[in-house]
Amino acid sequence: MFPPGPWRPTLVHAILGRPLPPSGSTETAVERGWSVIARLGIGLQPPRRVLTGKQARIRWWHRIFSLALLLAIVVLVGLAFASLTAILIVAAGFLLEQAIG
């Protein structure tokens, strides 16, 4: 389909060049080094090697962080609904007073 050459698209080369998908040992993206900006968490970070099988476990601090984040989201959404309800009640009371008086 595409003749060999330096202009050959990388994605097409990856698809047409291998009959099977790459295994974890052929992944080259995880072998890239981390720049100073990536180490500070500011820039783009290279992908981390994915653990599979029995080593694939969620760390305890990930669970606690997720629970704290979920609770924070629930509290913030609850506060937003409560504030909206209070504003509607106050506005309805004000409009009722204006309509009566």
pTM value?
0.47
Please indicate, yes or no, whether residues 78 and 91 belong to a single structural domain of this protein.
Answer: yes
The pair of three-digit structure tokens given for residue 52, joined into one six-digit string: 């599979």
Q: What mean pLDDT is reported for the chain?
A: 77
The answer to whether residue 37 sits within a structural domain is yes
Please check the confidence at residue 39 and state whether its pLDDT lies above 90: no
Please indicate, yes or no, whether residues 92 and 73 belong to a single structural domain of this protein.
Answer: yes
For residue 27, what pLDDT is reported? 54
Task: Map residue 22 onto helix, strand or coil.
Answer: coil
Side-chain half-sphere of 45: how many Cα atoms within 13 Å? Answer: 8
Task: Map residue 23 onto helix, strand or coil.
Answer: coil
The answer to whether residue 1 sits within a structural domain is no
Please check the confidence at residue 2 and state whether its pLDDT lies above 60: no
Domain end among 17, 32, 54: 54
Please indicate, yes or no, whether residues 50 and 62 belong to a single structural domain of this protein.
Answer: no
Percent of the chain with pLDDT over 70: 68
Please indicate, yes or no, whether residues 49 and 74 belong to a single structural domain of this protein.
Answer: no
- Give residue 30's domain range: 6-54
Please indicate, yes or no, whether residues 47 and 70 belong to a single structural domain of this protein.
Answer: no
- Domains of the chain: total: 2
Please indicate, yes or no, whether residues 35 and 13 belong to a single structural domain of this protein.
Answer: yes
Kindly indicate the confidence band of residue 94, based on its pLDDT and cuts at 50, 70 and 90.
Answer: very high
For residue 70, what pLDDT is reported? 97
| Secondary structure in 3-state letters for 44-77 | CCCCCCCCCHHHCCCCHHHHHHHHHHHHHHHHHH
Please indicate, yes or no, whether residues 64 and 96 belong to a single structural domain of this protein.
Answer: yes
How far, in Å, are 29, 32, 43 from residue 16 at the CA level?
19, 24, 32
Please check the confidence at residue 19 and state whether its pLDDT lies above 70: no
Among candidates 50, 10, 15, 48, which has minimal Cα distance to 32? 48
- Per-residue pLDDT, averaged over 49-76, amounts to 88
